[in-house]
Amino acid sequence: MEPIRILHSRTVVMAATNIDTDQIIPARFLTTTTKEGLGAQLFADWRYDAAGTPKPDFILNQPASQGCQVLVAGRNIGCGSSREHAPWALVDYGFRAVVSTEIADIFRNNSLKNGLLPIIVDAATHQWLVANPGAEVTVDLQHCELGLPDGRKVLFPVEAFARFCLLNGTDEMGYLLKQGTAIAAYEASHGQQRSRTTA
């Protein structure tokens, strides 16, 4: 995972509410067995016509959106399926942060594990971002601050451990594997009461 400390980027705005993970990456692309290359299918049904040609009116197909790392989305982005393919696709495409007033739980979790920073802001900040697409913003994960072009700095919450992992580009597996002794002790004291899945 790529560490995140500071991002400077223009924003892409997709103001629709409840953008679900079936839109971010439709199910028919989930037969892949790797994480790579999903950026090409990001928002496939909004982005391409039936012949596979990019639709000029879709935001990601417009010249101003190219190279942007920050996606500003309507309330409750990432609802629906738990598919981690959604953040994989966003990251593969080039996004590093998603900003909204509400972000669905599983999507938020999955994003944090893949170097995609979910940023929850207040309604007023969100309204400003939606009204000013393409704004140059600064994401400072060290200080949990979103910097707007007028110099305003908006604080956003990030779970402490996930923040640590993102700042350092480490994943949680190493930490969990280090808990081996505690896990073994737990298994020894509780294991007998649990019925096994095997007959």
Partner 1 sequence: MAKTLFEKVWDLHQVVPETADTPAVLFIDLHLTHEVTSPQAFTLLREQGLPVRRTDLTFATMDHSTPTTTDQIFGGVPIKLASARGQVEQFARNCAEFNVELLGLQNEKRGIVHIIGPEMGLTQPGKTIVCGDSHTSTHGAFGALAFGIGSTEVGHVFATQCLLQRKAKTMAINVEGALAPGVTAKDLILAIIHEVGVSGGTGHVIEYRGSTIRALSMEERMTVCNMSIEAGARAGMIAPDDTTFAYLEGRERAPQGAAWTTAVAGWRELVTDEGATFDREVQIDATKIQPMITYGTHPGMSIQVSGHVPVRDGDAVFAQSLAYMGLNAGQAIAGAAVDVVFVGSCTNGRLSDLIATADILRGRKVAPGVQMLIVPGSQQVKRAAEALGLHTVFAAAGAEWRESGCSMCLGMNGDTVAKGQYCVSTSNRNFEGRQGVGSRTLLASPLTAAASAITGRVTDPRTLLA
**Residues lying near partner 1 in the complex (CB under 8 A):** 15-18, 20, 22-23, 26-28, 30-35, 45, 50, 74-76, 79-84, 87, 102, 104-106, 109-110, 113-114, 159-161, 164, 171-173, 175-177, 179-180, 182-183, 186-187, 190, 193-199
Q: Which is nearer to partner 1, 32 or 66 (CB)?
A: 32
Report the distance separating Cα 167 and Cα 130, nearest Å. 27
Least distance CB 147 / partner 1 (angstroms): 26
Q: Which is nearer to partner 1, 6 or 16 (CB)?
A: 16
Report the distance separating Cα 75 and Cα 62, nearest Å. 23
Q: Which is nearer to partner 1, 64 or 183 (CB)?
A: 183
Least distance CB 154 / partner 1 (angstroms): 20
Least distance CB 156 / partner 1 (angstroms): 15
Least distance CB 172 / partner 1 (angstroms): 5
Least distance CB 38 / partner 1 (angstroms): 11
How far is CA 22 from each of CA 25, 77, 123, rounded to the nearest angstrom? 5, 11, 25
DSSP string, 93-159: HT--EEEES-B-HHHHHHHHTTT-EEEE--HHHHHHHHHSTT-EEEEETTTTEEE-TTS-EEE----
- Helix, strand, coil abundance in the chain, percent, nearest 5: 40, 20, 45
Q: Which is nearer to partner 1, 151 or 180 (CB)?
A: 180
Greatest extent of the chain over all pairs of C-alpha atoms, in Å: 64
Q: Which is nearer to partner 1, 85 or 137 (CB)?
A: 85
Report the distance separating Cα 58 and Cα 30, nearest Å. 23
